[in-house]
Amino acid sequence: MKKATNSIYKKAITITLLFMAVMVSSLRGQSVNFTGSYQISETKTDFGDAPHSVLPAKLTISQLKDRLTVQRITVDSNKQETVNSETLKFDGSKTETTLKSGNKRTASLKGSANQNSFTIDSRSVTPDGKLNTQINETWTLEADGKTLVLTRQVEQGNGLKYTIKGYYDRQ
């Protein structure tokens, strides 16, 4: 009887350990690393009437366990590039930077529960404290890992609101 009981316990422990290994493996599979360089896909992105400069032309992302560094390169109508870089922590703490325009930008990062996407909330105010822009961006990698989708909701200080979805190809 003792042998049978020990055998049952061993089988139960083995099954439990296998189940836990599968669950841990499954959870790891859900975590996405966004590290890489991306170029906007002009053919997939619908800009509508908006100038192409409303979205970065290029993104370079470096993701570590606790933080994400994003370098954004925007190109204006005169083909002049502007490079902005910021590091945001996944704990949701706010980062403040002063832009070349003199505006102050506050931003925070929040990962999704399944770690397949993240959201950046930012607010830019003019030197005299007036709202310039409020932006909510959701970043998701498509299943193939080759396309980054950036959905941006914007509210400008003048009351203009719009949403745009940008598609970026991994380089």
Q: 163 in helix, strand or coil?
A: strand
For residue 11, what pLDDT is reported?
A: 58
- What's domain 33-170's superfamily in CATH? Calycin beta-barrel core domain (2.40.128.20)
pLDDT at position 4, please?
A: 59
Identify the DSSP state of 53.
G
- Do residues 39 and 168 make contact, with C-beta atoms less than 8 angstroms apart? yes
What does the DSSP 8-state code read for residue 31?
Answer: -
Amino acid letter, residue 77: S
Closest CA relative to residue 53, chosen from 26, 92, 80: 80
Sheet strands side by side (includes 131-141): 81-89, 67-75, 58-63, 36-40, 161-170, 147-156, 131-141, 117-125, 104-111, 95-98
Quote the pLDDT of residue 99.
85
- In the chain, what are the domain boundaries? 1-30, 33-170
| pLDDT per residue as tens digits for the range 112-158 | 876 789 999 999 999 999 999 999 999 999 988 899 999 999 999 99
Q: What is the pLDDT of residue 22?
A: 36
Residue 57: per-residue pLDDT? 97
Start-to-end C-alpha separation, the chain = 64
Q: Give the model's pLDDT for residue 87.
A: 95
- The Cα-based distances of 136 to 76, 97, 116, 144 in angstroms read 22, 17, 17, 24
Q: pTM of the predicted model, to two decimals?
A: 0.77
Query: Does 168 or 32 have the greater pLDDT score?
Result: 168
> What pLDDT does 10 receive?
60
104 pLDDT above the threshold of 90:
yes
Query: And the tokens for 19?
Result: 């189940």
Contact criterion met (CB below 8 Å) for 138 and 151: yes
Three-state SS for 13?
helix
List pLDDT tens digits, range 4-57. Answer: 555 665 654 555 434 443 333 333 334 789 999 999 999 999 988 888 899 999
Contact 139, 120 (CB under 8 A): yes
**Would you state the pLDDT for residue 1?**
59
